[in-house]
Structure 1
Amino acid sequence: MRALQYDRFGGPLAVIEAPEPILEAGGAIVEVTRTGLCRSDWHGWQGHDSDTVLPCIPGHEFTGVVRAAPDLPGLVGARVVVPFVMACGRCRDCGAGAGQVCRAQRQPGFTDPGSFAERVAVPNAAVNLVPLPDSVRDDAAAALGCRMATSWRALTAVAGLQAGERVLVLGAGGVGLAAIQIARAMGAEVTAADISAEALRIAESLGAEPIQLTDGMGGEEIAGVVRGRHTDGVDISLDALGSPELAAAGILALRRRGRHVQVGLLADGWASLPAGRIIAHELAVLGSHGMAAGDYPPLLAAVAAGRLDPAGLVTEILTLAQAAEALPHMAQPDAPRGVRLIDPRL
């Protein structure tokens, strides 16, 4: 099958003829129809994720059609989405319904060959395949395995967002734009901060109040701009990019007893977080890591009902060869924004 692969961190990416995925006991083979190009793929390529196995076929946010599932024959031919955390279904965390932090988790594109390929193997299919309603088409479904699902759980289950609250989204990439759309749909007032004018244009079209960041701004300066508009601070901040400066800004922009949710990977560490403010204002600093398959029904219902429109965030469909050129440039300030998808059949 055709796939995109890199053999060393930071090295060249090439479209290759790869071996067919191996069907494990209890697993499934999914033919990929769409897969997302996500900043996490860039982190993996850079070597920031210690679990990434080389050589690596990246890609962790995908939808497709089940082509083989010996233990679930009724799902063969069904359209599905797969959480990027593929849970074991047997550990204590999975038993508690928290497959997103499964201690035996596997991740396509990191620990396992990913979805920048025509087909991908999914282990433990009974707990990792999420059937899709016909009304949720491929472009919408491809954002559900990571960006939309991650933002949904971060705001609803982790932050406990309520209608009328103020939300600050730091970084208006795929996760950030999804968070804006979800927060607005839930009746929140949203402010979005980013260095990219293109990203802020999209954020504003989704109903967010934009804040233009400039290169070199620190956490206190960013928070000061936010507090210039919201004197008491925001109820919830969400770092969707992964930056010590943005994480610090999110915390400093909170009202007393506010909640900061860290979604973006912090490759450079947490050194600049304002611990004194966290203690004095009783702030909650929360991590959020994807969403278990069992938690998808409310999100799918919101998409099917038209309350959320993940397909509306899609700006481009790439071939595998185009993805090989695009992935290394994802961290550049001028990189295209919105959700870019790949059709690995092209």
Structure 2
Amino acid sequence: MRAAEIRTAGQPPVVVDRAEPVPGPGEVAVRVTAAPITPLDLLCASGTSYFGAPATPYVPGVQGVGERAGTPVWFATAAGMRPGDGSMAEHAVAASADVVVLPDGADHTLVAALGLSAVAAWRCLTGTGGLAAGETVLVLGAGGVVGQSAVQLARVAGAGRVIACARSEAALDRARSSGADGTVRLEDGEDADELARRLSAVAGPVDLVIDPVCGLPAAAALRTLRPGGRLVNLGSAAGEVCPVPSALLRSRSLRILGYTNNELSAGERREALLTVVDQAVRGALTVGYERVPLQDAARAWRRPGRVVLVP
């Protein structure tokens, strides 16, 4: 079979011929039809993640979509986090507990593009963030897959108003077409107070912030929260540090919460994934992505936006 192989941490994969993997105890074989390149894949392959340097060579890909004995499935792997291979190949193996049967009619490449990013958006809204019906949600990083998903899923989850914040006008156009009630574009050179004023002018008092970016946008978003408001962080695309005045936290009794998919049980992940897939099948959820042949994995490795590798 053909597979993308990380040979040196920090370097793009090389597409090679490999023997098909053989399932071990508790594992099943999957013929892969779509494998996304995600930020977690890039982080693990860099050798700088908190999981440590990966054992090389290995096939990257922490999730994928394919067929098991003719049945469509989504599956997860620990590639790059623990020794073993992932989804960026024509065939893969996965633990039985990490395989989810998909409904007929699910678009394999769209499900792969959404995958765990959309799961994270859904769980941040309905689990960690505790969204209540009618509340106002501010989504930072609305151009990424988590952000795009959160804008659409917030409405599904009962939000009264949804505000999207992103750096590009194209991302904001997509958010508006996906139902955002208002949008705010990040501007170079402004400080947190200036951005907070612009966010508040569009959003008003905010109940819940979905934050995949951290940094200055998160610092500004905290200033828009009403008393008792929550910010759920699940990434650091805009910076590892978010300066937060103590008086702001205390005076409004704000809550800053962290989220990771790694804390989900297999059952919780399955339930969230099937919710996401159901919304996609209904036409209520989609994201932008690019289909790229597996053979071109190296050239697509650091390409902006979500890339889905297909055989």
Q: How far did 1:33 drift?
A: 0.8
Cα distance 1:181–1:82, how it changes in 2: closer, same or farther (>3 A)?
Answer: same
Q: How far did 1:155 drift?
A: 0.7
Where structure 1 has 5 or more consecutive residues not aligned to the other structure, the ranges are 67-75, 87-106, 331-336
Residue 39 of structure 1 is matched in structure 2 by 39
Q: 2:157 aligns with which of 180, 186, 190?
A: 186
Q: 1:78 aligns with which of 51, 66, 71?
A: 71
TM-score of the two chains, using structure 2 as the length reference: 0.85
SS of the equivalent of 2:301 reads: helix
The code of the aligned residue for 1:57 comes to V
Cα offsets for 1:84-141 (capped at 9, x unmatched) = xx6xxxxxxxxxxxxxxxxxxxx23443422111122213x1x222111113231343
TM-score of the two chains, using structure 1 as the length reference: 0.77
Residue 241 of structure 2 is matched in structure 1 by 270
SS of the equivalent of 2:193 reads: helix
Q: 2:195 aligns with which of 211, 222, 225?
A: 222
Residue 100 of structure 1 is matched in structure 2 by none
Q: How far did 1:219 drift?
A: 3.4
Cα distance 1:264–1:82, how it changes in 2: closer, same or farther (>3 A)?
Answer: same
Q: Does 1:327 align with 2:301?
A: yes
Q: How far did 1:173 drift?
A: 0.6
Residue 214 of structure 2 is matched in structure 1 by 243
The code of the aligned residue for 1:137 comes to D
Once residues 36 and 193 of structure 1 are traced to their aligned partners in structure 2, the CA distance between those partners, rounded to angstroms, is 24
Once residues 157 and 300 of structure 1 are traced to their aligned partners in structure 2, the CA distance between those partners, rounded to angstroms, is 15
The code of the aligned residue for 2:111 comes to A
Q: Does 1:341 align with 2:301?
A: no
Q: How far did 1:15 drift?
A: 1.4
Q: Does 1:255 align with 2:226?
A: yes
Once residues 48 and 297 of structure 2 are traced to their aligned partners in structure 1, the CA distance between those partners, rounded to angstroms, is 20
Residue 155 of structure 1 is matched in structure 2 by 125
Q: How far did 1:27 drift?
A: 1.4
Once residues 77 and 122 of structure 1 are traced to their aligned partners in structure 2, the CA distance between those partners, rounded to angstroms, is 16
Cα offsets for 1:174-211 (capped at 9, x unmatched) = 11101111012233211111112222121111011221
Once residues 183 and 295 of structure 2 are traced to their aligned partners in structure 1, the CA distance between those partners, rounded to angstroms, is 34
Residue 89 of structure 1 is matched in structure 2 by none
Residue 17 of structure 1 is matched in structure 2 by 17
Once residues 211 and 254 of structure 1 are traced to their aligned partners in structure 2, the CA distance between those partners, rounded to angstroms, is 16
Q: 1:62 aligns with which of 38, 61, 64?
A: 64
Once residues 130 and 275 of structure 1 are traced to their aligned partners in structure 2, the CA distance between those partners, rounded to angstroms, is 44
Residue 100 of structure 2 is matched in structure 1 by 130
SS of the equivalent of 2:165 reads: strand
SS of the equivalent of 2:21 reads: coil
Once residues 254 and 231 of structure 2 are traced to their aligned partners in structure 1, the CA distance between those partners, rounded to angstroms, is 8
| 1:192–1:211 contact (8 Å) kept in structure 2 | yes
Q: Does 1:118 align with 2:90?
A: yes
The code of the aligned residue for 2:71 comes to A
Q: How far did 1:226 drift?
A: 0.7
SS of the equivalent of 1:286 reads: strand
Once residues 216 and 323 of structure 1 are traced to their aligned partners in structure 2, the CA distance between those partners, rounded to angstroms, is 36
The code of the aligned residue for 1:289 comes to T
The code of the aligned residue for 1:148 comes to A
Q: 1:212 aligns with which of 178, 185, 206?
A: 185
| 2:113–2:289 contact (8 Å) kept in structure 1 | no
Once residues 2 and 174 of structure 2 are traced to their aligned partners in structure 1, the CA distance between those partners, rounded to angstroms, is 33
| 1:302–1:308 contact (8 Å) kept in structure 2 | no
Q: How far did 1:18 drift?
A: 3.3
| 2:119–2:276 contact (8 Å) kept in structure 1 | no
SS of the equivalent of 1:146 reads: helix
| 2:214–2:242 contact (8 Å) kept in structure 1 | no
How many equivalent pairs are there? 301
Deviation larger for 51-60 or 262-271: 262-271
Q: How far did 1:304 drift?
A: 3.2
SS of the equivalent of 2:219 reads: helix
Q: How far did 1:80 drift?
A: 1.4
| 1:169–1:193 contact (8 Å) kept in structure 2 | yes
Q: Which runs of 4+ in 1 moved over 6 A?
A: none
| 1:41–1:327 contact (8 Å) kept in structure 2 | no
Q: Give the aligned CA root-mean-square deviation in angstroms.
A: 2.6
Residue 54 of structure 2 is matched in structure 1 by 53
